[in-house]
Amino acid sequence: MPVLLVLLIAGIVAFLIYKFYIAPAGAPAAAAGGRSGHGFAFLSNGLLFYREPNGDVKQVHSAYAQEAMDRRERSRQRHSWKQGTSFTIAAGGNARDFDAAEKPILATSAVFEADGNLLYFQQDEHVGGLFRHDIASGRELRLLLRQNLHLADLALSPDGTQLAASSPQSAGVANIVLMKSDGSTVREATGGDTLDTAPAWIPGAPNRLLFQSSGLARDAQGYIAAQGHASIQKLDMDTGSVTAVRDDPQFDHLKPRVSPNGDLHFIRRPYQAPRYGAGAMIMDTLLFPFRLLRAVFHYLNFFSMMYTRKPLTTASGPAMQADLKNILLQGRRIDAEKALRSARPVNGVPSLVPESWQLIRISQDGDERVLATNVASYDLSADGTIIYSNGRGVFVLGQDGASQLASTQDFVGDVVAAAS
């Protein structure tokens, strides 16, 4: 009898692990019943995927990225004979590592053009480039390639002639930049000691756009001590003036979008203020030994994985990819394992963000409505259709308010709705 009970419990545990951790993982999958007729793209771990209206999901492969990786591999092979020789000693006495892996070329943002083709930005630690992917032929066209250029949050103007983007600068600052859709004449549109991201054009107002902005607080040495709440600002490019649209110190207002009928959409989540004071200091002091032991364990576990391919323990719960344990979503670090255990699933898909991350719509009359919860990212198509993600699945929000599952993936960092 005890043996049967143990087998029953083991079967239940195996089913739960498969349902919530193994089944959603792996390559992107079109969900059953997810043939909604809406195409979209999404980013996952620096890779770009395109979901066709018929439900098929394909990765957008970059010829430029493949060529760069091939060059790096040929260079590594040419220098491999130097390992273990005097050539590995630099002038200062330090060791050179010719096999050291460079940072990969990752896609940071994408946007659809009116004809259905994709514009996307790719970068590594040195070079960034703007590319166009022809959906019909699969060919890639390089539009812009520049040293030390980093862009995110691409937004195409309604007439298709201009691109707005967020450009991270030195010292943790990010500005909104404008350029032509062919990648030429890049210029800054905002400045200051702020983090300006997620630009969005306003339909019917070609010289005005919205963006989210957070102020930065620095210490006496100039390092960032805290980041303020995110507000929604409006930029008038005719006058250069910036005015607040939504600003509440209790909340972050993220990814503003304006629908064709003029309704304002954004993600609202509680703002997490930095913890200061005696209470935080006492808590940090009490937890210091445990945090130190945890750091030592992970340090030793790293070497165990490197040299034996085995972790020090297998009793830590369902396996997660190392880069998914702590991920960054909308500027906030997320403990993925904790989130998957505690956050409410959407249509059976575990969420990486809590219910307090809400998609809000404010009509031109001022009526406010919560359209969806557990929203990590979203976008609007030209006809007003909303595509959103909870971090593990992509959903189409119907006019009746019901969410239809369209695709699942380990990690969905951003979603991009097709033009139509």
pLDDT along the chain (420 residues), means of 10: 53 49 47 61 93 89 86 71 54 49 82 94 92 93 92 94 93 93 90 94 92 92 88 93 95 95 96 68 69 68 56 50 63 79 87 95 94 96 91 89 89 88
Q: Is 411 helix (H, G, I), strand (E, B) or coil?
A: coil
Task: Give 143-193 as a DSSP string.
Answer: EEEEET---EEEEE-TTSSEEEEEEE-GGG-EEEEEEETTS-S-EE---SS
What's the pLDDT at 284? Answer: 65
Residues 209 and 254 in one domain: yes
What's the pLDDT at 193? Answer: 92
Point out the domain boundary residue: 267, 298, 324.
324
- Report if residue 96 sits inside a domain: no
For 242, phi then psi, to 5°, come to -125, 130
Residues 284 and 251 in one domain: no
What's the pLDDT at 211? Answer: 97
- Report if residue 392 sits inside a domain: yes
DSSP 8-state code for residue 19: I
Domain span holding position 261:
2-62+105-277+334-417
Cite the DSSP H helix spans in 234-277. Answer: none
What's the pLDDT at 84? Answer: 54
The whole-model pTM stands at: 0.78
Residues 294 and 410 in one domain: no
What's the pLDDT at 39? Answer: 87
Point out the domain boundary residue: 288, 306, 324.
324
What's the pLDDT at 303? Answer: 54
What's the pLDDT at 99? Answer: 47
Residues 304 and 338 in one domain: no
Distance in angstroms (rounded) separating the CA atoms of residues 50 and 118: 9
For 184, phi then psi, to 5°, come to -95, 165
Say how many domains are in the chain. Answer: 2
